[in-house]
Amino acid sequence: MSNKNNSRRDFLKKTSLGGLGTALGVSVAIPTFASLNTIEHSVSAEKLHVKPRYHRWHVNEGAEWLELNTGHANLDWNIPVSQCALVLLDVWSRHYLKEPTDRAEKIINEKYIPLLKKCRESGMTVIHAPSPQVAIKHPNWVKLISDEELNPLPDAWPPREFRGLSGPYKDFRRPFEPREVEIQAMVKPHQFHPIAMPMEGEGVIATGEELHRYCKQKGILFLFFAGFNTNACMITRDYGALQMNTRGYQVSVLRDCTTGMENKETQAKLLQTNGALLFFEMFGQYTVTSDEIITGFSGKA
């Protein structure tokens, strides 16, 4: 093979932000933090030290190529605080199921209070992503999208009736649940949890595109997600961890600042929650803890 051809690993290191953690610790031909910013984006000397955890799809030398021989690994990042943001995703005041509400309340009261205090003191950007219907009613809504983008017209395909499972498609609906009205009464209107209310100057976003534009405006590259639920909105929202990683951001989920929706088979060991976190770690995202963030602000490099 010609020397001009790079290996896949070299290619990723040199061309992908996915290799950024490795690049920070070695001397390779990759843009520095300063060159990643436009003139408008000054890079702070304040640093955040974290060791993002991921699932290593490799085995050690001499080990058989088995799933049982794969496991966790960590990167070692010292990153500018000015390029980081804590994203609070769907941190609402309640859930209609008791157990997720209780778990979330414990997390919010024990983890969010010291986390938010330290992030705010240290100058990390805090962004609130509470769903479009909540965001647009708050005075801190950044309003970086048009009404047309907020409420886009649906594509002609699939047909409107199929999308709504009405008319000739009504037999494909799930059965009506007689207590649905009761659920809606319990959770509406959605509102911010009182401990996670936006403070003056903290942006509130409604969609993934708006979060992207806000990050571009601020020069933010690293997103640290906290919120609910791990196996629902954290994955499915267009401003969620998965979608923002697809947009090119380096995304870490705070694994002690989230919980999922479980059922009777999974609740005892929180298998849905832990499975969702493992999913992130396996497929391009990372996890960290709130304590790592709190102790990771090391001042000037």
Q: How far, CA to CA in Å, does 285 sit from each of 2, 61, 232?
A: 33, 25, 16
What stretches of the chain show up as alpha helix (H) in DSSP? 8-15, 20-25, 98-107, 113-121, 132-135, 147-150, 160-163, 180-187, 208-218, 233-236, 241-246, 271-282, 290-296
According to the model, what pLDDT value does residue 40 have?
57
According to the model, what pLDDT value does residue 222 have?
98
Backbone angles phi, psi at 94, to 5 degrees: -165, 165
CA dihedral 35, 40, 43, 48 (to 10 degrees): -110
Structural domain spans, the chain = 24-147+191-300
According to the model, what pLDDT value does residue 190 have?
86
According to the model, what pLDDT value does residue 187 have?
81
According to the model, what pLDDT value does residue 299 have?
54
According to the model, what pLDDT value does residue 196 have?
96
- Strands ordered across the beta sheet of 203-204: 71-74, 53-56, 286-288, 250-259, 222-228, 84-89, 125-129, 203-204
Q: How far, CA to CA in Å, does 225 sit from each of 30, 70, 256?
A: 26, 25, 11
End-to-end Cα, the chain, rounded Å: 42
Name the token pair of 99: 């157990």
pLDDT in tens, the chain (301 residues): 444 444 434 433 333 334 333 333 333 333 333 333 343 576 778 999 999 999 999 999 999 999 999 999 999 999 999 999 999 999 999 889 999 999 999 999 999 999 999 999 999 999 999 999 999 999 999 999 999 999 999 999 999 999 999 999 999 999 999 999 999 888 878 899 999 999 999 999 999 999 999 999 999 999 999 999 999 999 999 999 999 999 999 999 999 999 999 999 999 999 999 999 999 999 999 999 999 999 999 754 4
> So what CATH class is 24-147+191-300?
alpha beta
The whole-angstrom distance between residue 283's C-alpha and the CA centroid of its chain comes to 13
